[in-house]
Amino acid sequence: MTSSVGDSDQQTARTAYETIEPFHVLAYFNRGLREAQQDTGLDGRAFYVGARGAPMGDCDAALVTAAFYNFSADVITPAWQAARDVGLDRVAARRDQMLDEQLRAVLGDRVDDAEIRDLEKRYREIAAELPMGGRPLAAGWSVAAVPDVPHVALWHAIAIIREWRGDNHIAVLVNHQFGGLDAVVFHEAQLPDPTIRRRVLGRKRVQMTRGWSDEAWEGSVDRLVDRGLATRTDAGHELSAAGVDLYQEMEAETDALTAPAWSGSGVDDLLDRTRPYVKAVIDAGVLPGTRKKD
């Protein structure tokens, strides 16, 4: 896959992703999840699948499995059916209610900032210009009802852009012949340089949340080894030099595909204005790998 996008544009796309991602994933890691699950009668998997997939509408589970990509159909199929049985509109409404409560707790007095409305407007303008062809999950989110509450509406606008990047990343994975399981096992591999930090969930959590058995996992490692992309270690598996090169190449290709979203004027200012709200989420200590700061 080739691209005419320049290095600076790719870097802007990478910076934007790293800036807004913590704000987006608050929906899936917060202290209100258990209550939301209890209110809807759904377990953690079903609430997650329903809350994230609801904008795709009342479709077959096979479409949701394809869009989520690195989740086993054994997880998606029953979880999606449970969410459909409860009602996707109900799940989405409870998700928005949960986000309202959690963002109020996280942002404190800032939740009433007029700035939030301005940021939401700007992110929604960016989202409105994105091409949705080949991006099914982002397309669903782009036509979902906009929440009335400003800080939840900001989250929703960011969610469209985030899922658009995710759809782009799946296109890159497909182009490099990675199925969903191999993609997540590749991502979770150790790096030869332990000083490099990146977001990983760990094998145990990935298998639990995405539904992959030990047998399936080990088979995936074998495929990566056969491709020369990984080696087995006492602790599991580690990317080879070729694997590291490919990992970096695919990240760069994803950034290149995503760069058009951030090609307009004022992007640096937009991200700077967003950072205080993202920092509040990080400082709340509810996301994996973060600690609460007073």
> Is 20 part of a structural domain of the chain?
yes
Q: Domain range spanning residue 18?
A: 7-283
> What distance in Å separates the CA atoms of residue 254 and residue 157, rounded to the nearest whole number?
20
> Alpha-carbon distance 286 to 116, whole Å?
21
pLDDT of residue 11: 95
Cα–Cα dist 48/51, whole Å: 5
The answer to whether residue 2 scores a pLDDT higher than 80 is no
What is the per-residue pLDDT for 195?
81
Q: What is the pLDDT of residue 194?
A: 80
Count of domains observed in the chain: 1
DSSP characters for 262-289?
Answer: G-STTHHHHHHHHHHHHHHHHHTT-STT
Query: What percent of the chain has a predicted confidence (pLDDT) above 90?
Result: 92
Angle of helix 88-107 relative to helix 33-40, nearest 10 degrees?
160
Alpha carbon 211 to chain centroid, angstroms: 18
Asked, for residue 292, whether it belongs to a domain, the answer is no
Question: Looking at residue 294, what is its pLDDT?
Answer: 73
**pLDDT digits 0-9 by tens, 253-294:** 999 999 999 998 899 999 999 999 999 999 999 998 899 987
Q: Is the pLDDT of residue 199 over 90?
A: no
Mean pLDDT (whole number) for 26-30: 97
Whether residue 274 contacts residue 119, with contact meaning beta carbons closer than 8 Å, is answered with yes
CB 237 within 8 A of CB 221: yes
Judge whether 151 lies within some domain.
yes
Are 160 and 127 in contact, with CB atoms under 8 Å apart?
A: yes
**Residue 256 and residue 155: Cα distance in Å, rounded?**
24
Residues 6 or more apart from 59 whose CB is under 8 A from it?
none
Does residue 63 lie within any of the structural domains? yes
Report the b/e string of 182-203 with b at 16+ CB within 10 A. Answer: bbbbbbbbeeeeeeeeeebbeb
Give the predicted TM-score (pTM) of the model.
0.95
Q: Please indicate, yes or no, if residue 146 is contained in any of the structural domains.
A: yes
pLDDT in tens, 171-198: 999 999 999 999 999 999 999 988 877 8
Q: Is residue 293 part of a domain?
A: no
290 within some domain: no
Alpha helices in 58-113 (DSSP H): 61-68, 73-86, 88-107
Cα(34)–Cα(39) distance, integer angstroms: 9
Q: pLDDT value at position 3?
A: 55
